[in-house]
Amino acid sequence: KQEVTQIPAALSVPEGENLVLNCSFTDSAIYNLQWFRQDPGKGLTSLLLIQSSQREQTSGRLNASLDKSSGRSTLYIAASQPGDSATYLCAVTGFQKLVFGTGTRLLVSP
Amino acid sequence: SQTIHQWPATLVQPVGSPLSLECTVEGTSNPNLYWYRQAAGRGLQLLFYSVGIGQISSEVPQNLSASRPQDRQFILSSKKLLLSDSGFYLCAWTPGLGAYEQYFGPGTRLTVT
C-alpha cells in the first residue's frame, strides 16, 4: 500500500527566504507526482506535475524534483512571499488514483 | 477551457437526513471523476472514482454512495447522515487514467449537527 509522508508538517519563515518542502513515498511504481496548494477553505490548485520519467519541473519561483528510486520529491520555493502562505500537498499517482500526503502548512511573515 | 463546479458550497444538515452533492465538469468529454473527503486535521481521503457513466469504484466502505448519471456529472449521496460524515468534500477530474494531471473543484463544506 502506497504511503506518502510530508515533512515538515508546519513551517514558518520570514519573507524573502528560500525554502524546501519534502515529500516521500513508499512505492516507486508511480505514474507521476503532483504538488498542490490549498488555501484555507478552498479547493486544491495544481502547482507542478512531474512525470515518472522526469527529474524536475519548474514554474516561476517553484521548482519540484523527483527521485523515484529513493521515493522522494522536494518542492523548492525561491524568495518566499506572504502570498505563498498556504498548505502544500504532494500526491503520487498510481494507475487509477492519487495518494496524498498530509501536507505542509507554510506561513510566510512580512 | 475546462471548468469543474460543485454545489452547494456549504451545507448544514442534521444527523439522519439525506445528502446529495453534485459535481459537473465543462469543456471536456469522458473525464475520470473522483470524490475526496478532507476531515478536520486529516489528509485527503479518496472515496469514489468513476471512469465512465454508471461505473463507480468505492475506496472506503462507509455511509456514502456515488453515481454518475451523465458523462460529466458525478453525485455523492447518503440516505442517512452521521456526525462522522462532516468534512470538506472535493470533486476532481482527469482526462484519463495514469499519467494525467488532476484538477479539483472548489469543494463543499458539510457540517452534520
Read out DSSP for B4-16? EEEE-SEEEE-TT
The residues in B 43-102 lying below 8 A from A, measured between CB atoms, are: 43-44, 46, 49, 51, 57, 59, 88, 90, 92, 97-99, 101-102
pLDDT score at B99: 57
Instruction: Using CA coordinates, name the residue in chain B closest to A52.
Output: B99
pLDDT score at A24: 97
Q: Say yes or no: B42 contacts chain A, CB-CB below 8 A.
A: yes
pLDDT score at A59: 95
Share of chain A above pLDDT 70, in %: 100
Band the pLDDT of A83: cuts 50, 70, 90: very high
Sort out which chain B residues have CB atoms less than 8 A from A31's CB and list them: 98-99
pLDDT score at B101: 84
Q: Where are the beta strands (DSSP E) in B39-101?
A: 44-52, 55-58, 65-70, 73-78, 87-94
Q: Say yes or no: A61 contacts chain B, CB-CB below 8 A.
A: no
C-alpha–C-alpha distance, residues A43 and A36, integer Å: 10
Average pLDDT, chain B: 91
The pLDDT tens digits of the residues spanning B14-54 come to: 999 999 999 999 998 889 999 999 987 778 889 999 999 99
Q: Which of A88, A93, A99 best probes binding to B when mutated, by most B CB atoms within 10 angstroms?
A: A93
Q: Which of B67, B57, B70 is nearest to B29 (CA)?
A: B70
Band the pLDDT of A98: cuts 50, 70, 90: confident
Q: Say yes or no: A71 contacts chain B, CB-CB below 8 A.
A: no
The pLDDT tens digits of the residues spanning A33-75 come to: 999 999 988 899 999 999 989 999 999 999 999 999 999 999 9
Instruction: Using CA coordinates, name the residue in chain B closest to A101.
Output: B43
**Do A21 and A106 contact (CB within 8 A), yes or no?**
yes
Average pLDDT, chain A: 94
Say if residue A86's pLDDT is above 90.
yes
In the DSSP assignment, the letter for residue A71 is: T
Size of interface A-B (CB pairs under 8 A): 56
